[in-house]
Amino acid sequence: MSKPASNNPSGSWKMILLLIIAGAAALMISPVSADTGATIAEKGVVTITAIGDQSYYMGEKVVFSGVNSDSDSTYLFIIGPNLPNGGGKLYSPHQTPVSGDPGSFTAVKTKPDKTWEYTYYTSNGELGAGSYTFYAVSQAKTKDKFNDVTTYGATSIILKKPFITADISPSPVSKGQPFTVKGIAEGIPPAVRIWIIGDNYVFTTTTPVNPDASFTFTADTQLSGKLPKGQCYLIVQHPMADNQSDFVVSGDYVRNLKLNNGTNIFRITGPGSLQGSDAADALMAAISDQEADDHTLTNDTYTIVPFQVTDAGPESGAAAEEGVTIAASGVRSYYQGEKVVFSGYNYDSDTTYLFITGPGTFMTGPGVPNGGGKLTSPRQEVGSGNSGSFDTVKTKPDKSWEYVYYTHNLNVDAGSYTVYAVSQPKAKDQLNGVSSANVGIILKKPFITAELVPSAVSKGQPFTVRGTAEGDPPSVQIWIFGDNYVFNTTTPVNPDASFTFNGDTQLSGNLPKGQCYLIVQHSMQNNTFDIVASGDYVRTLQGNNGMILFRINGPGSLQGKDAAEALIAALSDPNNGDDTFTVIPFIVDDTGTPQSQPITTTPVPNQTQHSPLQYAPVGAIVLVIVGIVLWKRH
């Protein structure tokens, strides 16, 4: 007997309806899930670079540029010596920005192509010479408020003190014969001021500075014919970062335009005026007094070249073979640690006595004595008649002499110095009637710049650290810090002061994901790293034959940001030596996304290709309607 057919289909239709509702729900949810996933996958990026070699003289402009795919404004701030820990506003660097307050930052609009550019003028007088780090952030956040989702970039630059060198040719100058003043005015001011001072004579003018920082002033026969015979003084005045000459001639007086909005400081022509060396000394003293302790680098500086004026031309061999001469090798501008070769002739004695003059005050205390200091110990005063207080060199049979001068470990500040060669052991204030000559040199502080390419590192992808280590050290030290990670090595410096370190795929594969820190350490003029890695510790080699500073491996070690900041603090402490550094924060990701092209989050218009998921809501509605109709029918 056959089984009767069922006339109650509600169970199967209920099942069909449930399937339809489930499918509709899935279609409604799918687009949301897809969009959310796309949003998570898209990660913004902010970069910042400085045009040029990242080393600038005060007064130059710096053009910063980069990419910001995360917001329509890029917020800039600066961190460096004597600035607030949280950073400073670019044109008011002692004013700390406030997180969440866009107006307290220097802000620049992001362009439609996601790039940005900002021109920064270093002549505002708020910053001293040194190394500074500029941050670009997609939000108005200070450094102490950064977290794992903060999108930012950073780059370091060096600000250097402008300086000036000058030379006069020929020397001595013959009356009625043309001569030339040439030199370098680093910082590239629009012009420098020329002073020529002699007995009952003063001449002043300005001459333009070329784009390569060189300048040339040519004196014609009429000018040289008016020079007084005997000792004269060439002083070339640099306007420094504000590009304004502070000292000028006003009528019969030398006037300081910055003192009480303009003050006459001494008379240079007419009755009661200062003459010759007295006038030159008064001008140099006035410039030096105002320049002292000028951390803004806006007060003028100068260089001086004493020279002789004769009636006879240089053709006479007898006239040429007398007295003492001195010249310095190269461009007369040297990083501390380089060697300088002084040479010349001494027709008056079998020994040439050398001493140096320069700033009377250093940052660490007294500078070079007024009468001059021993060349190899500039703070040790030379004494007239005491030959042992001078550096000496024997005159050769052909009357020439040569002395190799090593500028490391001199314990002096960077600046302008004058080296004297004298036929007798006489200090500067006892040179009357004694054959002597001098040459000006510049001693500069070595510095370091570095960049990371690409600016964000993908795990397993190679990267490069490259930069410039001026001062000719044999190598620089590379540090990389991250969470539970530290890497340390050295890399050689090339003869042109450049260096390159290539991180291979194995090294980048070991880097921890997230925030990391690259620090490049310069050994400075002694060419010895004062802070090194030693086992599980960072150690300073200064004092007590080496002292542990902090642990970087093992239990209780500092990690990531804490380790980087501890090393930066140690390198910044003068008690740990004179090494300098530059730091580059960077991000490590594991996406393998090429960093040569900026990542953007600009939505792609749905014009040519359509994802099937975008029609899911319509399909879901259709299924619901079909389900309702079927339910009513059955």
In this structure, what DSSP letter does residue 506 have? H
- DSSP string of 196-244? EEETTEEEEEEEE--TTSEEEEEE-HHHHHHSPSEEEEEEEEE-GGGT-
pLDDT band for position 316 (cuts 50, 70, 90)? very low
Residue 477 CA: distances (Å) to CA of 270, 469, 490? 61, 11, 4
Distance CA 315, CA 544 (A): 63
Q: Which stretch, 8-17, 249-258, 330-339, 442-451, has highest mean pLDDT?
A: 249-258
Indicate the pairing of strand 301-310 with strand 173-174: parallel
Instruction: Sketch the domain layout of the chain as residue ranges.
Output: 10-42+610-633, 45-160, 164-444, 447-600
pLDDT band for position 598 (cuts 50, 70, 90)? very low
pLDDT band for position 124 (cuts 50, 70, 90)? low
The set of residues, in sequence order, having a beta carbon less than 8 Å from that of 420 and lying 6+ positions away, is 326, 354, 355, 356, 357, 372, 428, 431, 436, 437, 438
pLDDT band for position 86 (cuts 50, 70, 90)? confident
Is the pLDDT score of 338 beyond 50? Answer: yes
Please work out, in degrees rounded to the nearest 5, the angle formed at the alpha carbon of residue 335 by the alpha carbons of 393 and 390: 25
Distance CA 431, CA 307 (A): 14
- DSSP string of 109-178? EPPTTSEEEEEEEGGGS---SEEEEEEEESSS--GGG--TT--EEEEEEEEE---EEEEEESSSEETTS-
Gap between the terminal Cα atoms of the chain: 29
Contact 495, 565 (CB under 8 A): no
Q: Which residue has the tokens 């300048």?
A: 215
| 34-43, 75-84, 171-180, 498-507: the lowest-pLDDT one | 34-43
| Token couple for 194 | 């020329």
Distance CA 141, CA 98 (A): 7
pLDDT, position 491: 96
pLDDT, position 277: 83
Between 164 and 12, the more confident residue is 164
83, 92, 80, 71: which is closest to 136 by C-alpha? 71
Distance CA 463, CA 448 (A): 19
pLDDT in tens, 271-292: 999 988 889 888 988 888 887 6
Contact 291, 306 (CB under 8 A): no
521, 535, 500: which is closest to 582 by C-alpha? 521
Contact 532, 539 (CB under 8 A): yes
pLDDT, position 409: 73
- Asked if the domains at 45-160 and 447-600 fall in one CATH topology, the answer is yes
pLDDT, position 475: 95
The set of residues, in sequence order, having a beta carbon less than 8 Å from that of 168 and lying 6+ positions away, is 179, 180, 181, 234, 305, 307
Average pLDDT, integer, range 262-268: 94
| 106-120, 393-407, 465-479, 595-609: the lowest-pLDDT one | 595-609
HEC string of 517-529 equals EEEEEECHHHCCC
Average pLDDT, integer, range 396-410: 89
Q: Which stretch, 100-109, 154-163, 302-311, 359-368, has highest mean pLDDT?
A: 100-109
pLDDT in tens, 6-56: 444 455 555 555 555 555 554 444 444 333 333 333 557 899 988 876 778
Q: Report whether the peptide linkage leading into residue 585 is cis, meaning its omega lies within 30 degrees of zero.
A: no
pLDDT, position 155: 87
Distance CA 372, CA 384 (A): 10
pLDDT band for position 1 (cuts 50, 70, 90)? very low
Q: Is 345 helix (H, G, I), strand (E, B) or coil?
A: strand
pLDDT band for position 610 (cuts 50, 70, 90)? very low
Please work out, in degrees rounded to the nearest 5, the angle formed at the alpha carbon of residue 512 by the alpha carbons of 507 and 515: 115
pLDDT, position 626: 53
Is the pLDDT score of 238 beyond 90? Answer: yes
pLDDT, position 621: 57
The set of residues, in sequence order, having a beta carbon less than 8 Å from that of 281 and lying 6+ positions away, is none
472: left (phi over 0), alpha (psi -120 to 50) or beta: left
Is the pLDDT score of 170 beyond 50? Answer: yes
Average pLDDT, integer, range 591-620: 39
45-160 belongs to CATH 2.60.40.1930? yes
pLDDT, position 213: 84
| 108-112, 186-190, 200-204, 595-599: the lowest-pLDDT one | 595-599
Is the pLDDT score of 616 beyond 80? Answer: no
The set of residues, in sequence order, having a beta carbon less than 8 Å from that of 300 and lying 6+ positions away, is 237, 238, 239, 240, 245, 246, 247, 287, 290, 291
Inter-helix orientation angle 10-41/616-633, to 10°: 170
98: enclosing H helix or E strand:
none
How much of the chain, in percent, has pLDDT values that exceed 90? 40
Is the pLDDT score of 504 beyond 60? Answer: yes
Distance CA 381, CA 375 (A): 10
Average pLDDT, integer, range 213-233: 91
Average pLDDT, integer, range 224-238: 91
Neighbours of 2 (CB within 10 A): 4
385: enclosing H helix or E strand:
none
pLDDT in tens, 541-577: 886 667 899 999 999 999 898 999 899 888 878 788 8
Average pLDDT, integer, range 141-157: 86
In this structure, what DSSP letter does residue 389 have? G
pLDDT band for position 239 (cuts 50, 70, 90)? very high
Distance CA 283, CA 195 (A): 10
Half-sphere exposure of 500 (CA within 13 A, CB side): 8
Average pLDDT, integer, range 317-343: 76
pLDDT, position 592: 54
200, 205, 336, 206: which is closest to 277 by C-alpha? 200
Classify domain 447-600 at the CATH class level.
mainly beta
pLDDT band for position 634 (cuts 50, 70, 90)? low
What's the whole-number average pLDDT of the chain?
81
Instruction: Count Cβ atoms within 10 A of the Cβ of residue 311 and give its class: 0-12 exposed, 13-18 middle, 19 or more buried.
Output: exposed
pLDDT in tens, 363-402: 778 889 989 999 999 999 999 999 999 999 999 998 999 9
Distance CA 369, CA 261 (A): 32
Instruction: Count Cβ atoms within 10 A of the Cβ of residue 329 and give its class: 0-12 exposed, 13-18 middle, 19 or more buried.
Output: middle
Is the pLDDT score of 171 beyond 80? Answer: no
Distance CA 32, CA 48 (A): 35
Is the pLDDT score of 92 beyond 70? Answer: yes
Instruction: Kindly state the greatest CA–CA separation across the chain.
Output: 149
